[in-house]
Amino acid sequence: EDQVTQSPEALRLQEGESSSLNCSYTVSGLRGLFWYRQDPGKGPEFLFTLYSAGEEKEKERLKATLTKKESFLHITAPKPEDSATYLCAVFTGANSKLTFGKGITLSVRP
């Protein structure tokens, strides 16, 4: 069964303090890895899709990378508005579903 583990569970940063969020996965035949951002009580908001090891994607202060066993979401000089839960999900195509990790709750203090 596909497994996705995100760490740490929670992360508190000072504004401007860069860090990385980790998503490790155990799947058979990864076809895509997705990052979403979720604000409290809202639906997940799509950030990135990565398809193969070595791939990187960037958007504003966020950069996602992928290896054969894990993905990182790097946050450079975060701002308080980056505070949210960041979800990682894998798609293997075995049954057309996304398998999500439990998320990392990021809090950025001004």
The footprint of another protein (CB under 8 A) covers 31-32, 34, 36, 41-46, 49, 51, 87, 89, 91, 93, 95-103
Instruction: Say if residues 92 and 29 touch (Cβ distance below 8 Å).
Output: yes
Q: Which is nearer to another protein, 32 or 61 (CB)?
A: 32
Distance (Å, whole) CA 18 – CA 76: 5
Q: Which is nearer to another protein, 44 or 78 (CB)?
A: 44
**Smallest separation, CB 35 to another protein (Å):** 11
**Smallest separation, CB 49 to another protein (Å):** 6
Instruction: Say if residues 91 and 71 touch (Cβ distance below 8 Å).
Output: no
Q: How crowded is residue 4: how many other Cβ atoms within 10 Å of its Cβ?
A: 21
Q: Which is nearer to another protein, 13 or 30 (CB)?
A: 30
Q: How crowded is residue 57: how many other Cβ atoms within 10 Å of its Cβ?
A: 14
